[in-house]
Homo-oligomer: A and B are copies of this chain.
Amino acid sequence: MGSEQNFPPPGNKQELEQGTELTPKFDASGLLPAIVTNVDGGDVLMLAYMNAEALRLTLSTRKAHFWSRSRGEIWLKGETSGNVLEVVELRTDCDQDCIWIKASISGDQVACHTGKASCFYRVITSDDGDIRLVSDS
């Protein structure tokens, strides 16, 4: 990865929380989690991971890029399926170790590889202590 992908190193607590400079805190694997919500309705669509290059590409192209931990490569979400996530707004959190993307989704509105709109298609129920997963209809 070229140095052009690098971001400035995280500063102290005040700089991280109140600064105007993006200094993302990647974990020991060089990744941070990115939450994607649908700008239309607000549902959480998926969570994936970004390295510095994926974050740079997302910022420059306004299309969500991730680091595939299973394939070990940069991944333009929707490159094969057509369901590209167009970035409407990008946010970071107080300690800059997470990204929130508000996205509109092109194609057939499917974010999950299972064919569901969102990866979060199952509710965890725990009635009477009996924990089950219940799928959306």
Q: Please state if B21 and A90 are interface contacts (CB–CB under 8 Å).
A: no
User: How many copies of the chain does the oligomer comprise?
Assistant: 2
Contacts of A98 in B (CB 8 A): 47, 119-120
Give the bracket for the number of chain A residues in contact with chain B: 35 or more
Closest B residue, CB atoms, query A91: B120
Give Cα A20–Cα B122 distance, bound, in whole angstroms.
Answer: 9
Please pick, from B41, B43, B91, B124, the residue contacting A122 in the complex, using a CB distance under 8 A: B91
A129 at the interface (CB under 8 A from B): yes
With A47-B33, A89-B123 as given contacts, are A129 and B60 in contact (CB-CB < 8 Å)? yes
Chain B residues with CB under 8 Å of A41's CB are 42
Report the Cα distance A44→B100, complex, angstroms. Answer: 8
Query: Among B59, B112, B123, which residue has its beta carbon within 8 angstroms of that of A90?
Result: B123
Q: Mark A43-86, 1 if CB is under 8 A from B, else 0.
A: 11011000000000001100000000000000000000000000
